[in-house]
Amino acid sequence: MNASGGTAFVFPGQGSQSVGMLKALAADHSQILGTFREASEALGYDLWELTQNGPEEALNRTAVTQPALLAADVGCYRAWRARDGIEPVVMAGHSLGEYAALVCAEALDFRQAVRLVARRGALMQAAVPQGEGAMAAILGLDDAAVEAVCRDCAHGETLAAANYNAPGQVVIAGTKAAVDRALVAARSAGARRSVVLAVSAPSHCGLMREAAQQFAQDLAGAALNAPVVPVIHNATVAALSEPGPIREALVSQLFSPVRWVETIRRMAEWDVSRILECGPGKVLTGLNKRIVDLPCASLGEPADFGAALGVTGP
């Protein structure tokens, strides 16, 4: 570990939500409940109540999941900063988490972001009728092999690599029939495992282009500032500082793959000494450990939060 390096923050996206998330951390840090109150006011319903008590089916609806995770990620970050936690030198978010990174980098107002991601989720859900799209994780094949499976199994339908999550772990997305064909082909190609994901919309593929065009109109009216901390974007693997390119990156993110492996490797070029996952769960921490040789930890539980904070001071 390079003691002189800075701290990097990453923010999780869909898939990290769970009923009861951040309950223990919120008991110690009032910033989390305060953040959820702000989100609830922007949405017109009690978001904290829903995240704590469910039902799970409601929390897993994309238009609800997205603002819930945004509030969880931002609330966790606010709690960190309120305890004199060190300011990161660079940030990134996985898919929806990119909005949390932009909020925490002061590029996007939180309440505005809540409304934007709720709209984003609704557009994504409406883009593909329930049951007609799918996403699946392919484990044990390299990127090129997964891309070849997608080409061979598309048969004129939409099918593409959607998330390059870690070496040997790629998520694909497209029409359900094409994904089903790819699962069979991936196993034949030597995949260790291939699993259909429990998602309500096939993100980061061509099926989201129409939703992206509509969402571009919402983003056009959003106020954006230059981030005070660099934010590496999923679609471009670049840290952008101008509102126009940031909007373009957020639009293209909807139908472009999440280049997480490249993002984390790019992050390491900032001479960081550790990467902290700011939000519920430990999904990104597990992925990041497979990508770079750096200490990686999560902040979603009190013990983990305290351990990470202890590195930088009381």
- Which residues have a catalytic role annotated? 95, 204
Q: How far is CA 224 from CA 36, 175, 212, 232, in A?
A: 22, 34, 18, 16
Query: Of the candidates 130, 138, 195, 134, which has an alpha carbon nearest to the alpha carbon of residue 169?
Result: 138
d(CA 12, CA 10): 7
> Is-contact 57 84, C-beta < 8 A?
no
Strand partners of residue 257: none
**Chain-centroid distance, C-alpha 237:** 14
The residue written with tokens 């969880």 in the block is 72
d(CA 170, CA 261): 10
